[in-house]
Structure 1
């Protein structure tokens, strides 16, 4: 069976069963209309139902017969129906045709089934044994080529599968070279082989149905039966057909490790701007699968959360990469910040706990490969640029996995030099002393003003609410009062009432601190400074920890610009500013449970 979208101008786009194809403005469709995006729609054909699911990706509407789609909306186009690529223009008719050993289906339907419209994309169906669109085939068309040859092919969803092209070339060659009786014999053998494959597929379907209630260990040995996408919060998970649970995990990053850009640019210029990084990758992954490993890709894609990358487009890209590799792979995509974003090990935890068919993972037999390895400038001959981060190496370090770079693993290069972050959350002492000098008192029996100085997320609020506010101090904070003027006014009112004040702002410079020193002087009370000693790296780590545990914190996420603004304006406080005493307050974590401590002690940024 074949499926084709045919335009009024004669352009033809072949569709494969269950595989996403991105269509839009370009030479393959012959559409030059600027209103049509280069990635206008995603089309997934279903040969079993003789239809296709169309999902609009572009900003301007597409139409399925007379029904309009909007961005992110999907609709079902059946045999004979028409897809108008943009604004009821550039029509493409969906056509299914059967091979010579089949008959035209009497149940072929036309038009759009409006009740099948949904928001978001839908998954394609697993490929099944089907007849060929060309009746003249040789026996070798039924058998795959070697993995090495497959890895070197160039696939394009807009131009059809290379296997289809090869089959057509074989047919054309045989037309000119084979004798008529040889052709008939080949056709007869091919039809017999096809019949056997169809019987095998029907038998397999029956066996799967009969074993639906088998034990989990039995089902895991068969692997995933149908490719599927799942969404868990901001985690996207793709499990390809044939993926099996295993106690040995071979983990890989995607960008810069499995693929690179065809354009040579750091960031891809579009969904199709990619190629397999090394020829050695496909056969090496195939070898791992033969050895019983489960191959898993882990990738961060913050562009999805920022609205710069549409999920449907990236899903299609993942499917195309795996089609090129021709291997069953599981793919984890962290589509935003939080516990799933590397180097935090949320994706790994989900794999081990919920996505490995119940098989316990052996970390000693598992490993991880990635290019974000913390390598410095010129880490190898040829003026190699330094790695943009060390998130992949830290991901493996958090988990406790053996780590390799792509060059080390696939090409056999020697281990390169690397740098780890200066801040190591594993070394934070939760039993350290809280403040210096130890002879100081945190609160006073007399009215006073305490002014905090320190990075955002350095522990100021927690410290004050734990040790100071319960003693009757009035809490003054710009986050709640809105401006420093309001903070000064609140401080003045509290002192008039004879109450002490704790000012919980960053106060990086003498000018910001002087406001409260002057208020204290006017009221005739002392003013002390509590300088919170947490470094920039510690504060940013605390900020990310809050982000990963929103239920345990009422703090809003702090932008990196705020951290660096504080660092730029910071001047160490001095007694000459009018303070009666300066205490150094250290960050000493207090964990509610072991799970929180485990999360806190992970590297959270590369």
Structure 2
């Protein structure tokens, strides 16, 4: 049997049985209208009942006949019916062909009828754009009210097509309620089959759930906490042993067709199945900053996750850090959430668990064949933060020898709170005479904390560009304070002689000495401090982007007495923590 979507222009789109296809604007569809997304709909054909489940992904609505779909909604397209790809344009009619006889179902008559649907719609009252979308985003994406199609996807193979029919009727807002009388019995049968599947996958016969420590998850579902998204497939069982790996490992390879999930190595699926049989829980952890930056729509990425798990046909769990902060690897937010809230209260045995990831800090040409440099070291550092054994995909799945790698130059675990604060140590931080103190140092090198703790309480006027807006205002404020007889502390980065000369000129004009406080915090530690501040509750510091850090590095010229300073004092970063939890967070690698 064959299943195709066809249009009047002769375009024919084949759909495999039980295989997901993302369909939209492309040369293959001959649709170039930008109102139609390249990822407009997700299609899943069911040859047994001769239907296709259509899930809307694009921003503008698709139509099943005259039924509009909003983003995240699903409906079932029956044989001979027409899918309008976007709005009421670009009709594709569903046809099934029997392979034995070559005969097709009586689809053409309906296809011809469907061509007039757009004309009929012109006579209907115009609808608001809100009619094409779910009433509230929470009804689309939050786990407690997801449409059933997101709760029962192909991550575990369905035992019968009848369940798909029930799902379609439950998720289609304009669909009929036929079949509701027997839907409960169908769902109960599905749950029973899912549990049996989970038991087979994990190597257990039917047994009381208490003997395994946890009952299998009964349905696929997404949930979200802040910018952390979690997908749990039906059949997932909480375990003491956890194997984590980076989701990108099994995303599309370089030669993979667009919008199709492809397993990178054929060894992956049987290896994961073997781990499940041995009593492991398999968990994916992935960073997806593109979601927070608006470059990747959450529903598109969710669909890809579901497609990958449908290809693997294994009960797995996926953690997605959809932005910066505490959940982004290598920081342990995702791991902590797994252990504390997503493993049914079962403590993870780290001595038996391990981590596999491809962001391993390997240099260019780390293996024969002109291998590219790893884009980061975040996976290796994630495992290091947790305290797990680490393997690369090549080491674990293919048996390759360990490759060379490089760790970051700054190791937060070595930060010593007993370091001498400044050098020379016998120098007085403040003066009884009027003076100007000019800071030099990276953003997030500890300047503001140091000044507010040690200098400003002694009566120094605090001058800072973040509060005054420009260096011109800072210079004016410095001169005004000196005229009023105050000491001045200038808390700016001041990387080069030109920026420092402005305050030297003012101090010389007013006849007072000017000292330089050089903050010795390195670029790597300053960036770590910036990420740490970002993750702390109640943080009042603005986040600094990498461009600002590297701008300082490029402009930096070490200050000297020849510029006119009366003294140069080197100030070292000495961390102080509110509690043990914040100290533990600071001592985690925060960027790979």
Normalising to structure 1: TM-score of the pair? 0.76
> How much does 1:346 deviate?
1.1
| Aligned equivalent of 1:261, options 247, 253, 257 | 253
| Aligned equivalent of 2:267, options 254, 262, 280 | 280
Asked if the contact 1:42–1:57 (Cα under 8 Å) also holds between the matched residues in 2, the reply is no
Q: How many angstroms apart in 2 are the aligned matches of 1:570 and 1:263?
A: 44
Moved more, 569-578 or 528-537: 569-578
Asked if the contact 1:25–1:31 (Cα under 8 Å) also holds between the matched residues in 2, the reply is yes
1:341 and 2:328 equivalent?
yes
> How much does 1:289 deviate?
0.4
Asked if the contact 1:56–1:69 (Cα under 8 Å) also holds between the matched residues in 2, the reply is no
1:163 matched to which residue of 2?
A: none
Asked if the contact 2:82–2:91 (Cα under 8 Å) also holds between the matched residues in 1, the reply is yes
Asked if the contact 1:230–1:237 (Cα under 8 Å) also holds between the matched residues in 2, the reply is yes
Per-residue CA deviations over 1:484-534 (Å, capped at 9, x if unaligned) read: 000000111111111111100000111110110111111121111100000
Counterparts of 1:118-267 in structure 2, within 5 Å, are 118-119=136-137, 120=140, 122=147, 123-125=150-152, 129-130=159-160, 201=189, 204=192, 221-255=214-248, 257-263=249-255
Asked if the contact 1:478–1:505 (Cα under 8 Å) also holds between the matched residues in 2, the reply is yes
Q: How many angstroms apart in 1 are the aligned matches of 2:354 and 2:368?
A: 26
2:103 matched to which residue of 1?
A: none
1:90 and 2:93 equivalent?
no
Per-residue CA deviations over 1:2-31 (Å, capped at 9, x if unaligned) read: 9997767795775978x8652213587x44
Counterparts of 1:10-21 in structure 2, within 5 Å, are 21=21
> How much does 1:203 deviate?
8.7
1:587 matched to which residue of 2?
A: 573
Indicate how the Cα distance of structure 1 residues 207 and 20 shifts in structure 2: closer, same or farther if over 3 A, else same: closer
Q: How many angstroms apart in 2 are the aligned matches of 1:560 and 1:199?
A: 51
| Aligned equivalent of 1:271, options 236, 249, 259 | 259
- 1:22 aligned counterpart, secondary structure: strand
Asked if the contact 1:76–1:114 (Cα under 8 Å) also holds between the matched residues in 2, the reply is no
Q: How many angstroms apart in 2 are the aligned matches of 1:555 and 1:199?
A: 51
Asked if the contact 1:241–1:328 (Cα under 8 Å) also holds between the matched residues in 2, the reply is yes
2:58 matched to which residue of 1?
A: 57
1:507 and 2:534 equivalent?
no
Asked if the contact 2:69–2:132 (Cα under 8 Å) also holds between the matched residues in 1, the reply is no
2:171 matched to which residue of 1?
A: none
Q: How many angstroms apart in 1 are the aligned matches of 2:238 and 2:452?
A: 48
Indicate how the Cα distance of structure 1 residues 461 and 27 shifts in structure 2: closer, same or farther if over 3 A, else same: closer
2:428 matched to which residue of 1?
A: 441
Q: How many angstroms apart in 1 are the aligned matches of 2:187 and 2:324?
A: 48
Counterparts of 1:407-556 in structure 2, within 5 Å, are 407-549=394-536, 551-556=537-542
Asked if the contact 1:128–1:201 (Cα under 8 Å) also holds between the matched residues in 2, the reply is no
2:172 matched to which residue of 1?
A: none
Per-residue CA deviations over 1:38-90 (Å, capped at 9, x if unaligned) read: 31123579999x995642425x55345557667xx344546678642123112
Indicate how the Cα distance of structure 1 residues 456 and 10 shifts in structure 2: closer, same or farther if over 3 A, else same: closer
Could you tell me which runs of 5 or more consecutive residues in structure 2 were left unpaired when the two chains were aligned: 97-116, 118-126, 142-146, 164-184, 197-207
Counterparts of 1:35-54 in structure 2, within 5 Å, are 35=34, 36-42=36-42, 54=55
Per-residue CA deviations over 1:182-203 (Å, capped at 9, x if unaligned) read: xxxxxxxxxxxxxxx9899279
| Aligned equivalent of 1:302, options 272, 286, 289 | 289
Per-residue CA deviations over 1:97-119 (Å, capped at 9, x if unaligned) read: xxxxxxxxxxxxxx999896554
Asked if the contact 2:4–2:12 (Cα under 8 Å) also holds between the matched residues in 1, the reply is no
Asked if the contact 2:195–2:235 (Cα under 8 Å) also holds between the matched residues in 1, the reply is no
Asked if the contact 1:75–1:118 (Cα under 8 Å) also holds between the matched residues in 2, the reply is no
Q: How many angstroms apart in 2 are the aligned matches of 1:566 and 1:320?
A: 45
- 1:542 aligned counterpart, secondary structure: helix
1:32 matched to which residue of 2?
A: 31
1:167 matched to which residue of 2?
A: none
Indicate how the Cα distance of structure 1 residues 207 and 546 shifts in structure 2: closer, same or farther if over 3 A, else same: closer
Asked if the contact 1:25–1:34 (Cα under 8 Å) also holds between the matched residues in 2, the reply is yes
> How much does 1:376 deviate?
2.1
Indicate how the Cα distance of structure 1 residues 218 and 234 shifts in structure 2: closer, same or farther if over 3 A, else same: farther
Q: How many residues align?
A: 511
> How much does 1:576 deviate?
1.4
Normalising to structure 2: TM-score of the pair? 0.78
Indicate how the Cα distance of structure 1 residues 421 and 128 shifts in structure 2: closer, same or farther if over 3 A, else same: closer
2:170 matched to which residue of 1?
A: none
- 1:364 aligned counterpart, secondary structure: coil
- 1:463 aligned counterpart, secondary structure: helix
> How much does 1:479 deviate?
0.9
1:571 and 2:557 equivalent?
yes
Asked if the contact 1:546–1:552 (Cα under 8 Å) also holds between the matched residues in 2, the reply is no
Asked if the contact 1:20–1:316 (Cα under 8 Å) also holds between the matched residues in 2, the reply is no
> How much does 1:132 deviate?
8.3
Moved more, 38-47 or 383-392: 38-47
Asked if the contact 2:533–2:541 (Cα under 8 Å) also holds between the matched residues in 1, the reply is yes
> How much does 1:578 deviate?
1.3
> How much does 1:276 deviate?
1.4
2:102 matched to which residue of 1?
A: none
State the superposition RMSD in angstroms.
3.6
1:328 and 2:328 equivalent?
no
Q: How many angstroms apart in 1 are the aligned matches of 2:62 and 2:514?
A: 67
Q: How many angstroms apart in 1 are the aligned matches of 2:134 and 2:455?
A: 61
> How much does 1:379 deviate?
2.0
- 1:417 aligned counterpart, secondary structure: coil
Q: How many angstroms apart in 1 are the aligned matches of 2:382 and 2:27?
A: 42
- 1:237 aligned counterpart, secondary structure: strand
Indicate how the Cα distance of structure 1 residues 78 and 261 shifts in structure 2: closer, same or farther if over 3 A, else same: closer
Q: How many angstroms apart in 2 are the aligned matches of 1:568 and 1:468?
A: 29
Q: How many angstroms apart in 2 are the aligned matches of 1:336 and 1:411?
A: 32
Q: How many angstroms apart in 2 are the aligned matches of 1:114 and 1:584?
A: 63
Q: How many angstroms apart in 1 are the aligned matches of 2:572 and 2:479?
A: 29
| Aligned equivalent of 2:358, options 353, 368, 371 | 371
